[in-house]
Structure formats: structure tokens, C-alpha cells
Structure 1
Amino acid sequence: MGYKVAVVGATGNVGREMLNILAERQFPADEVVALASRRSLGTEVSYGDETLTTKDLDQFDFTGWDIALFAIGSDATKKYAPKVAEAGCIVIDNSSLYRYDPDVPLVVPEVNPEAVEGYAKKNIIANPNCSTAQMVVALKPLHDRAKIKRVVVSTYQSVSGSGKDAIDELWNQTKGVYVPGQEVEPSVYPKQIAFNVIPHIDVFLDDGSTKEEWKMVAETKKIVDPSIKVTATCVRVPVFVGHSEAINIETEDFLDEDEARDILREAPGIMVIDKREDGGYVTPVECVGDFATFISRIRQDSTIENGLNFWCVSDNLRKGAALNAVQIAETLGARVLKKG
């Protein structure tokens, strides 16, 4: 006997990826339904070899359904998630709404799988921010060995993290650079994104950081260890899919770069590609469509006593969103629900 799974927001980039990954990983589902708002009603989406026609989220009865994967943003989640949870269906939410709620577990299955067992307080589990998810997968095995004291991270985040309109904006602005008279003014972003980088993701906070940077700090503490100090600079770059991060860590105990490389090679969810030669590293273009978080450029930081630098790349629509949500569902099934 398998699960009954609803994908909420099935016509968006992340919702479509959720359906793809459920099929690719052969999640034990007896029934899968694609749900969307009324304006997307009747849209067809792919689920493996099947084509699903979206149904109306407003009218759908979640009674008897096991898991709902949410990819609809915080405002809509605030309206629908409590109703779905009250109907007995466990919500796995990709928005930021519940990430910092002490009664809602924030889960990356390679890092804190046991946290799913705390779902029962609200019948909701939160998926972390895309930039945090890939970073903590790399931090956890190193933290277990040498205890990380401080993290300094600079992110290079693709436009797909802002949705379809942002992808279109990059595409149209890029064409406009080459075709006189077809220039496209920024609308999604405050400045041109084509052939540019923007050190600004989400809103600015009083201390001068952005909310995206704050998310990385708060979520790393909740998922890995509240004692870890994190400082982040988050940058939007003209890449369609795939987030990159330059990460520096300071540990309590000395950790040799070769041992760190070996630890990461053995860690779940990680692929180490680290050759000190031209092209001996992974870039965003190469990670698209892959499940792994890729680690390259592992090296000692000689400016501090116990420091390491490394490069971290992942498909943000997968590990940063849809894949992690499906992995949470898998972990929930294995540790709690035990069906299928």
C-alpha cells in the first residue's frame, strides 16, 4: 500500500520538478494529484510517463490524503496549509512561512532526518531556503568531525530562484543587448541582470543585510547547530539554473584538506569533483538536472588556524527546493508513516 500525494502549485517551476522527481525516484505513491489555482485549472503537467490535468486547489478535499507538497509561496501557503494539515494530510512546505516556527521542523534529510518526527505539532514540515539547503549538506559531515565555529559564505544565485518571470527577464535582456531597439528594462530585479551581478536578494533589513542573507544564518543554526556563527553575502547572477557558493569555514579542531575531501566523498548527497587543473571543478551549467550537491576547490585557509575553503554547486530547483521536499517525504515515510 502506497501513499496518496498532492502537489500544490503543480504548474510552477518547482511544482513541475516535484512531479518529475517523484517519478524519477519511484516514490511509492498509489495516487498523485496536481493542484493549482483556478487560473491554471486544466493545465496539463507531466508525471513520469503520465499526463496529469490540474485540479482546483480551492475545491479539493484533502481528507484521506497522506502528503501535500506545497510550492505556492508564503501568502497562499498561509491560507491553505492549516486547512490541509487539519484534514490530516501532512504538509511539506517550500515557502519561508513556517521555517522559523519552533513548532515546525526544518529538515534537510542528509543533515537532520530525525527532525521529521516533530511534524505532529502542526502537521507541517518546512523545506529550507535554496541557498541554505546545499550549504548545510556540505557543512554537516565537516561539523561532525571538527566542529564548525564560523562560516563565511558568498552565494552566486541563478535567476530561476526568482521564478519564471526572472528567467524570461534574463533571456529577453540578453537578446536586447545584441539587438538595437529591443532593450528590456528591469522589472523583476532592481537593475539589469543580463551581463551583470546584483548583490541584493530579497528585502533589505535594518542592519544592512538582506533577508536572503538572514535566512542562511537563521536556517543553518536551526538545521545544524545554533552555536555556528554565519555571515553571508547573497548575489544574483545571470545564470538560468544552479546556485554556486564560495564557503569558508573555521573549525575548533584542525581539519586537513585531504581528510575533508575524504569525509565529503563519503557523505550522503555529495559528489566531490576536485582536480587542481583546468576544468577540474563543477559549474552551475553542469549540475542542472542532477540530484547531487557538488563540492570542488577544497583547500586550506592559511589566514586562520583551522580554516578551509571550498566551492559548492547545486541545482536550486532540485536540491534547493523540489528534491529536498521529496526526500523529506521519503524520510517521513521511512521513519514515521511506514507505508509502501
Structure 2
Amino acid sequence: MSESDRELVIVGVDSAAFDPLLEVLEARKVVTPAQLRLLDTEDSGADPQVFANRSISVDVLEQFQFAPEQVVVLLKGGEAGRAALAAAESAGAWVLDGADNTRGDDTVAVIHPLLNSADIAGAERRVLALPAAGAAMVAEALAPLADQLQGVEVLLEQPVSALGKAAVDAMAAQTARMFNGQEAEIDPAIGHRLAFNQLSSSEALLASGHNLSELALVHDLRRLLGDKVAVDATINTASVFHGQLANVRALMAEDVALDQVEALLRNGARLKMSERPSAQEAVGGEETLVGRVRQSLLNKRQVNFCAASDNLRKDLAINCAQIVHLLLKNH
């Protein structure tokens, strides 16, 4: 079967990542309108979507028949996402999980198209997972230092869009109410106001003091960097819609000169040096911004720097589109 005869099925039109993914797929001509199928749950009431000047209907997920020639991208989590995953895998389709349905499952290969796309050929199952957006960005930034890397500590400032479209809508509504002198309604699932706020954790804490997203970030980084690299992570939520920034502390195996580190980062794939990286500067771009490289005052083997990227467009949509292209073409 030729590449043009295969279908791309996207599950989850209501996801915050859906619009950026559709834009990237169209701009890069990964698939034609005839190859694209869109699905969502029966109660979603999703309207048809425009792709390459064609109107694409949104079919009902519960009634859809998956097939072996399809590549299925999951942007929907929860019970519906897990059911779609099981049905698509049972049908023999390739599945790319971008919604944490396979979180913590070591039988599923975590794939970053820039770092380990060759692992697709040896995947245990026809199910792959995108790394969490923060993990994709940090692993990309650390890749030039991998040979000397001993440990890494990440403080990720994630935007509200990392929590999903409902959180984006909630923060927009809270902002509007506050500008009108009204009290902002608080989502009980988060327990705090999103607008004009900064959260130490947007999720319930585990016994260790971490939350599940932090452990998922650690898990994905270790899968991408290797088990020999010690990893710890903290995720705060900043009151911005899009764009993420991480403070990264990299512990090297031996003393290393800053000019050498900067040279390695400057030559890293999809990295762009910036004196003072910001999340806003990164939004809409296709590179990870890296800057503020400095030696730790506590440890001569530790190098600190900042990384910023567009969490939806770059770290989810572009990475997803590249993996989809590989699956349609080679697998």
C-alpha cells in the first residue's frame, strides 16, 4: 500500500493541541484532505473542520471502525481516549498517544523525532507516545551535552494550555470577570484561580510531594536521556495561555568550561541562543530558545541555563507531524 492510500485519524477535536496540529499538517502537506479522518465522542457536538480549503466532517468515535492501514493520533484522554487506543491497537493501526493515555507504560516507546526516531522500528507494540511538552523541550536542549551529563534538575513554568482547552477557557473567563470588577469563579478540580496567579502545583500532591505530571516529566526525560542520568523535576503553572519556560540545572561528569557548553548548545539541532529567553518570544516558533548559561555558584560541575518553547505548536504539533510522516512513509 502506498503512502497516499493510508489514512491519518485524529481523535479529539476539542483538544487545545488540535488547531496547531491541523495547521502544521496542512502547511507541511503531511496528508491530503482525502486522507484525513477526524473523530470525537458522540456528545462533543463538534462542527466540521477546514483543512486545505476542504470541510472535513467530525465522525462519532464510538461508531468508528479502525483499520490496519491507519495512523491514529490520540489527543483525547480519559475513558474515551483509552477506549480508542484499545480499539485502534486491536485493529492493527499505528497509534501515537499525545494525551497521556499510556503514561508510565514502559511497553510503549516514547519518541522524540529529533532524538530517537530510529526506536520506532524496534517498538514492542504499534503504540508510541509523544513525550510531555516539557520533556521534549528539555531533552532537546540537553542533547548536545548528553555525553557529559550526569544529572538534571528541571523547574518548568508551564502555561495554562498545558492543562487543556477547558483550563484556557476558564482563565479567559476569570480574566474577563476580574477586569469587570467581579469575583472569578474557581475550578474545584484545580482549587485555585488561574488568572493573575502562579501555582506551585495545579494537581493534587502524592505522598512524595510530587504530582503525577512531575513524575511523568521525570519518566519521559529518563527514557530520552538514558537511565544513567539522575532526574528531578518541579512543575509550576504560570498565568499565561501559551509558551513554556524551564530553568535547567545540568550536573556534568567533570568540570567544563562555559564557552564549551555555549558552543555545544549553539550547534544543537533546533536550538537558538537567546540572551534572555522568554515564553512569549518562543510562541509561534519552531526552535527551542536557550540562554542565560552560567556556572552554578554551588558546584563547579553544574551548569544552569533557561530554555523556552511553544508548548503546543513546536513540542506537540510539529513533533507529532514529523512522527506521523515517518509512520505513513516507512511503517
Aligned-pair Cα RMSD in Å: 2.0
Maintained 8 Å contact 1:177/1:183: yes
**1:320 to partner: Cα distance:** 3.3
How high is the sequence identity, in percent, across the aligned residues?
Answer: 25
1:91 Cα deviation from its structure 2 partner: 0.4
**Does 1:285 find its partner at 2:280?**
yes
How far apart in 1 are the matches of 2:173 and 2:26? 32
Partner of 2:95: 91
Q: In structure 2, what is the equivalent of residue 112 of structure 1?
A: 116
CA contact (8 A) 2:296 2:302 kept: yes
3-state SS of 1:254 partner: coil
Rounded to whole Å, the distance in 2 between the matches of 1:332 and 1:158 is 30
SS in 2 for 1:118: coil
Q: Residue 34 in 1 paired to residue 41 in 2?
A: no
What is the CA-CA distance between 1:205 and the residue it aligns to? Answer: 1.1
Q: Secondary structure at the match of 2:183?
A: coil
Q: Which runs of 5+ in 1 are unaligned?
A: 275-280
Alpha-carbon distance in 2 for matches of 1:155, 1:34:
32
Counterpart for residue 272 of structure 2: 271
Structure 1 ranges of 4+ moved more than 4 A: none
Asked if structure 2 preserves the Cα contact closer than 8 Å seen for 1:19 and 1:47, the reply is yes
Alpha-carbon separation, structure 2, partners of 1:122 and 1:41: 32
Answer yes or no: is the 8 Å Cα contact 1:271–1:295 preserved in 2: yes
Corresponding position: 1:77 with 2:81: yes
Pick from 309, 318, 328 the counterpart of residue 304 of structure 2: 309
**Which blocks of at least 5 consecutive residues in structure 2 are unaligned?**
none
Residue aligning to 1:185: 185
SS at match of 1:39: coil
- Shift in alpha-carbon separation, 1:65–1:233, aligned structure 2, 3 A: same
1:278 aligned partner: none
Q: How many pairs are equivalent?
A: 326
Q: TM-score w.r.t. structure 2 length?
A: 0.91
Instruction: Report the Cα offset of residue 209 of structure 1.
Output: 1.2
1:42-96 deviations in Å (ceiling 9; x for gaps): 5122323333221111222222533111100142222111211222210001122
Find out whether 1:25 has 2:28 as its counterpart: yes
Q: Say whether the 8 Å CA contact 2:156–2:234 is kept in structure 1.
A: yes
Stretch of structure 1 that moved more, 88-97 or 27-36: 27-36
Instruction: Report SS of the residue matched to 1:13.
Output: coil
Deviation (angstroms), 1:240: 0.5
The worse-fitting range, judged by mean Cα deviation, of 39-48 and 54-63 is 39-48
Task: Tell me the CA shift for residue 179 of structure 1.
Answer: 2.2
Alignment partner of 2:65 out of 46, 61, 73 = 61
Aligned ranges 1:159-178 → 2 under 5 Å = 159-178=160-179
1:294 and 2:281 aligned: no
